[in-house]
Amino acid sequence: MTVSGPIQVRVEVSEDHSAVRSVNEAAFDTPAEAGLVEALREQAGPLISLVAVRELSGAVVGHILFSPVTLSGHDDLRLMGLAPMAVVPELQGQGVGSALVKAGLEACREFGGEAVVVLGHPAYYPRFGFLPSSRFGIDSEYGVPEEVFMVLELTPGSLKDRGGRISYHPAFATV
C-alpha cells in the first residue's frame, strides 16, 4: 500500500458510524450513499462492514459494505453485494480502496459467501477477480451495461448453471 502512514482495516463498530457517514459524504457527490449505509444497517442483514483507519490517529479514512443479494430462482445461494465503497478524496488512488476490497472479500469467504456482485468501474474491480456477470448468465435488476455489473465466485463453480437476475435490498432504490 502506498498511503502515507500505516492503514489498518477492521470491522466497523457503532462508534464509527458518524465517521463512516462523513467518509461516504466526502467520497460521493451526494449524501445518498451515506443514507444507504444507514438504511442497510437498520433494515438488512447480515452485513459485512469494514473501515480503513490510520493506525496512529485512529481516523476512519475508508469504508466498505457488503449486504445480502438474491439471485432469482436460487434462494439456496449465499450471495453478497459490494456497495458502497468509499475513501476520503485525499487518499483515493493510494491503495486504501484495494485494502478494503481484499479484506472485505476475505470476510465474505469466512462468512460462507459463495459469490459477490458489484456494480462498479470495469477497469477497477477485475483486478480482484471480478468478471462480467453476463459470463454467468446473470444480470442486474437495474438494467446497467453488462461491463459494469460484475461477479466474483468465492466458491469456484457455485454459479455454474445458475443464471438469473440479482436483486438488492429495497433500500438501494433510494440511491
pLDDT tens string 105-148: 999 999 999 999 999 999 999 999 999 999 999 999 998 998 99
Give, in order, the Cα–Cα distances in Å from 58 to each of 1, 5, 55, 61, 155.
Answer: 17, 11, 5, 9, 34
In this structure, the strands spanning 138-140 and 164-167 are parallel
pLDDT at residue 143, as a whole number: 86
pLDDT tens string 41-51: 999 999 999 99
Q: What is the pTM of this model?
A: 0.94
CATH superfamily of 7-174: Gcn5-related N-acetyltransferase (GNAT) (3.40.630.30)
- d(C-alpha 103, C-alpha 117), whole Å: 15
Kindly state the percentage of the chain with pLDDT values over 90. 91
pLDDT at residue 5, as a whole number: 64
Average pLDDT over residues 67-79: 96
Q: Is 59 helix (H, G, I), strand (E, B) or coil?
A: coil
Structural domain boundaries in the chain: 7-174
- Res. 174: pLDDT tops 70: yes
Per the listing, cell 433500500 goes with: 171
The answer to whether 69 and 117 have CB atoms below 8 angstroms apart is yes
Residue among 27, 13, 106 nearest 58 (CA): 13
Kindly report the backbone phi and psi dihedral angles of residue 31, in degrees, each rounded to the nearest multiple of 5, phi listed first: -80, 10
- d(C-alpha 99, C-alpha 102), whole Å: 5
84 preceded by a cis bond (ω within 30 of 0): yes
